[in-house]
Amino acid sequence: MSTTTTLRSKAAPAAFKREFLLELHRRMILIREFEERVKFLFLEGTMPGTIHQCQGQEASAVGVCAALAGDDFITSTFRGHGHALAKGLTAQEMMDELFGARTGCCRGKGGSMHMGNMSKGMVPAIAIVGGGIPLAAGMALAFKMKPTKQVAACFFGDGAVAEGAFHEGVNMSALWNLPVVFVCENNLYGASTHISKVMKDTRVSARAASYGFRGETVDGNDVLAVYQAAVTAVADCRAGRGPVLLELLTYRRTGHSRRDPCHYQPKGERDEWFDRDPLVRFARVLVERHGFAAAELDAVKSSVDAEIVAAVEHAKSAPQPTQEELSEDVYA
């Protein structure tokens, strides 16, 4: 029931297999490149809708999802592309969705803010701030009642902590020891408002103790630290010692949405966080501590780029839903 506020140290080099490390790297690159391409397509005007992007927050999505099994479920938010890619959705099914195609993961009915794929353990993302918190608690309640060993991981931002849904969902999860990992991606801003303007105590993880369960603050830009914290949290949940609140400290490199130039982020703060970019840091760790060659990492980026180029190419000409599909899927 303690709250650990110190940041976790990096894992010992020998603890991980090369394939695993490379996969973490690949997933983060995939998210970054996917988001960069989406941004271009949106600004170019070829992609419909609005976008909320997660450049800079890749390590939290990848680190947490790497600790989950395929049949574990996540809930996500309006900023959910990274979570979806980390949970195993393909760039293709997501790009199709973003272009509104009937081949998209939600047949063009979800869009950027509601990415999901039930067969891959992701319910459609919930774009109402905090709305996924009670929902994830309920998913975890189902796992406990059935019973199964599944775990729910619930992603939300620091902004959601002010919602009543946070209090209600977290309280009942604690009360019933539900197998749910609450993952607060604390990127310091709810839209344009700094966390210090909405919380007296800005240490989100400290709230867990007041509900009677364990909270922990982790360097959210260190993918291995996130992964290790998530492994422990998931194990606790599977052993009936849930829930756990993980506060992952991170930073959004792009605007809240659309063309937001982030003028509210002070330059010094941006520079400081940009220096802690999760991709750059992990690449350095891979080369300096795990003996990867720079060329190996470059090859990952090339293959990811090719995958995304192909996905865009396909998505742009993928079939759009028809008149009949407008009124399908309202009822089961």
- Interface residues toward other proteins, by CB under 8 A: 73, 104-110, 114, 116-119, 123-124, 126, 128, 131, 133-143, 145-146, 152, 164-165, 167-169, 171-172, 175, 328-332
220: number of CA atoms within 13 Å, CB side? Answer: 27
- What is the nearest approach in angstroms of other proteins to the Cβ of residue 79? 16
- What is the nearest approach in angstroms of other proteins to the Cβ of residue 126? 6
Nearer residue to other proteins within complex by CB, 180 or 248: 180
Nearer residue to other proteins within complex by CB, 288 or 328: 328
Nearer residue to other proteins within complex by CB, 27 or 52: 52
Q: To the nearest 5 percent, what fractions of the chain are helix, strand and coil?
A: 50, 10, 40
Taking the C-alpha atoms of residue 175 and residue 158, their distance in angstroms, rounded to an integer, is 22
- What is the nearest approach in angstroms of other proteins to the Cβ of residue 179? 12
Nearer residue to other proteins within complex by CB, 157 or 169: 169
Taking the C-alpha atoms of residue 29 and residue 85, their distance in angstroms, rounded to an integer, is 11
Q: Tell me how far apart the terminal alpha carbons of the chain are, to the nearest angstrom.
A: 42
- What is the nearest approach in angstroms of other proteins to the Cβ of residue 1? 19
- What is the nearest approach in angstroms of other proteins to the Cβ of residue 188? 25
- At 29, list the tokens: 């690159």
Taking the C-alpha atoms of residue 110 and residue 135, their distance in angstroms, rounded to an integer, is 18
Q: SS in 3 state form for 167-204? A: HHHHHHHHHCCCCEEEEEEECCEECCEEHHHCCCCCCC
Largest CA distance in the chain: 57
With contact defined as beta carbons under 8 Å apart, do 291 and 14 qualify? no
- What is the nearest approach in angstroms of other proteins to the Cβ of residue 243? 13
Nearer residue to other proteins within complex by CB, 92 or 217: 92
Nearer residue to other proteins within complex by CB, 147 or 291: 147
